[in-house]
Structure 1
Amino acid sequence: MIGVSRRHMMNGHFDLAALGMLVAVAETGGFTAASARLGRTQSAISVRIQDLESQLGHKLLERSRRGVTPTDAGERLIAHARRLLAVEREALADLGGETPTGRLRIGVPDDYMDAYLRPLIARFAVEHPKVELEVRCDISKRIEPALKAGELDLAVVTQDPQRPLGEMLRREPLIWVAARGHRPELQETLPLALFSEGCRARPRILAALNSAGRAYRLVFSCSHTSGVLSAVEGGFCVTAMTESAVPPSLRRLGPAEDLPPLFELTVGLIMAPHPGLAAQRFADALREEMSAFRLAA
């Protein structure tokens, strides 16, 4: 920890430009990409972040072979920084008479849509009546190239663990579930419902079963949550899904049912280059929603 008095920290004021640089480095994964985004030199960004670290007495970023990642203190500051920067943008837009208009195209897997985006989208539509919302629900593997091709303005995806794109919003534990009143997990060969091939969790789920030596058979495959849920609620199979998306009709399974522990998925936000005001406002609202969701969890 960098030596600095608590009194000095409490009496200081944040440099919003430096906070913006810190957020850019965290979102892009490095100083080079942040430099390209902000139009500032890497050395200038580095100096401003070092000044922040000296002001607060905390190291904010860690450099590793995988890139640049926030420390625990950095993660906490970034959450505050995003809110401060959003307020600054809102104030500038308000005084400048700037109102989001036009079409906003959002890509999202439908399990995330059901878990925490539906209320946000409804609220955003009411608060920004001049914005035409277009939502595409699909698997992350197809959403990412659609955004790259210019078909979407922003996307919420399950990040590829080997090649994560975008800004990480939250971690989602994956858990086993089955219908209440049914015991398909007692079958010697586990009947399984999963998302279609292309789902990033699917090969890892199957690998977990194989590593545990648990026999299984795939009895249902679908590209949408509603289809998988219908199969599981019918009582003849189990599935694995994100914890926040589990409906009351299902019960959780685990080691007691001879099922292996699973893993966490990381939910990411990807923005198109040069996002418009509507996309920026939605991204700010999404970060705020995710922050509140984490606190409530």
Structure 2
Amino acid sequence: MTVHFDLAALGMLVAVAETGGFTAASARLGRTQSAISVRIQDLESQLGHKLLERSRRGVTPTDAGERLIAHARRLLAVEREALADLAGDTPSGRLRIGIPDDYMDAYLRPLIARFAAEHPKVELEVRCDLSKRIEPALLAGEYDLAVVTQDPKKPMGEVLRREPMVWVAGRGHRPELQETLPLALFSEGCRARPRILAALSTAGKAHRLVFSCSHTSGVLSAVEAGFCVAAITESAIPPSLRRLGPAEDLPPLFELTVGLMMAPRPDLAARRFADALREEMSLLRLAA
């Protein structure tokens, strides 16, 4: 018997995964929690796979759920595009995006060319800045959409991804062998910076700041030159660097939570870009 997907149920599954629970998904979709739960249970029975794990910390997709969600986002995007095309509803105008530059290459670069080709009437304007400056700028109306490193004390936006921080050094160089660790950091205001310094202090690891920069390219250049180490996001590690860890007497690090923020009343272009970005994040998780 041929199995056909229930697109409404797939939309509910995606909403639960993106919001982290049935309560938030219910508010987003305007459906009762019980109705959403029943539709997803029916989907699980139809496919023969458990799609969600429920715990005290919330609801998370299983491996099968992650794979299905990646497909579901593409199917739902096609559905939206078809309905918009029939309605003559085509995105246009300027789309203003804010993002830290260490996420630019990892997240937006694979997406921008495809989005521009699919939506030729949309003008993309991307500005790179620190997350702590992007958040208030979006709330003030300066951006339509933003990708930020969430403040763990006051997270804002929808969770897109959890990004591990990793110690790195240049290939062919051993700065980690110095008695006092030479360190490169992003400039003051970077949300990872105080947590990196706290990890070193807690471990009792002697260190000294030898380089700081507001841009990823500057930090990577300093590390590649061989005179310092740095902690950067896993997705930003280029082939010119090598990972460091406990074997080099460096303390374990943490994960950053990457969030998606939208203007209060996002237009069609912003909604389409957000959908494409969520799909990109799903593909990255599957490739990991």
2:20 matches 1:32: no
The aligned residue for residue 288 of structure 1 is 279
Q: SS of the residue aligned with 1:173? A: strand
1:200 CA displacement: 2.6
Matched pairs, number? 288
Distance 1:68 1:147 in 2: 29
The aligned residue for residue 62 of structure 2 is 71
Match of 2:71 among 55, 77, 80: 80
> RMSD of the TM alignment (CA)?
2.6
Query: Which one-letter code corresponds to 2:28 in the other structure?
Result: R
1:258 CA displacement: 2.0
The aligned residue for residue 136 of structure 1 is 127
1:240 CA displacement: 0.8
The aligned residue for residue 204 of structure 1 is 195
1:195-223 alpha-carbon deviations (Å, 9 max, x no partner): 12332322332232223321111222322
Residues 156-195 of structure 1: pairs in structure 2 closer than 5 A: 156-161=147-152, 164-195=155-186
Q: 2:69, 2:282 within 8 Å by CA — same for their partners in 1?
A: no
The aligned residue for residue 115 of structure 2 is 124
The aligned residue for residue 262 of structure 1 is 253
Query: Which residues of structure 1 form unaligned runs of 5+?
Result: 1-9
The aligned residue for residue 272 of structure 1 is 263
The aligned residue for residue 250 of structure 1 is 241
Q: SS of the residue aligned with 2:189? A: coil
TM-score (normalizing by structure 1): 0.84
Query: Which one-letter code corresponds to 1:152 in the other structure?
Result: Y
Identity %: 89
Q: SS of the residue aligned with 2:42? A: helix
1:146-205 alpha-carbon deviations (Å, 9 max, x no partner): 333333222222334455444443343322122334332222111111112332322332
Match of 2:52 among 54, 61, 81: 61
Q: 2:26, 2:32 within 8 Å by CA — same for their partners in 1?
A: yes
Distance 1:25 1:232 in 2: 40
1:42 CA displacement: 3.2
The aligned residue for residue 96 of structure 1 is 87
Match of 1:231 among 215, 222, 229: 222
Distance 1:151 1:227 in 2: 26
Query: Which one-letter code corresponds to 1:236 in the other structure?
Result: F
The aligned residue for residue 153 of structure 1 is 144
1:228-276 alpha-carbon deviations (Å, 9 max, x no partner): 2233234322111122212333333233322223233333333334432
Distance 2:110 2:197 in 1: 33
Q: 1:147, 1:154 within 8 Å by CA — same for their partners in 2?
A: yes
TM-score (normalizing by structure 2): 0.86
The aligned residue for residue 218 of structure 1 is 209
Q: 2:96, 2:124 within 8 Å by CA — same for their partners in 1?
A: yes
Larger deviation, residues 245-254 vs 79-88? 245-254
Q: 2:67, 2:286 within 8 Å by CA — same for their partners in 1?
A: no
Is the alpha carbon distance of 1:66 and 1:140 closer, same or farther for their aligned partners in structure 2, counting shifts above 3 Å?
Answer: farther
Q: 2:66, 2:282 within 8 Å by CA — same for their partners in 1?
A: no
1:296 CA displacement: 4.5
Q: 1:178, 1:253 within 8 Å by CA — same for their partners in 2?
A: yes
Distance 2:190 2:4 in 1: 45
Is the alpha carbon distance of 1:33 and 1:292 closer, same or farther for their aligned partners in structure 2, counting shifts above 3 Å?
Answer: closer
Q: SS of the residue aligned with 1:93? A: helix
Is the alpha carbon distance of 1:273 and 1:61 closer, same or farther for their aligned partners in structure 2, counting shifts above 3 Å?
Answer: farther
Is the alpha carbon distance of 1:294 and 1:104 closer, same or farther for their aligned partners in structure 2, counting shifts above 3 Å?
Answer: same
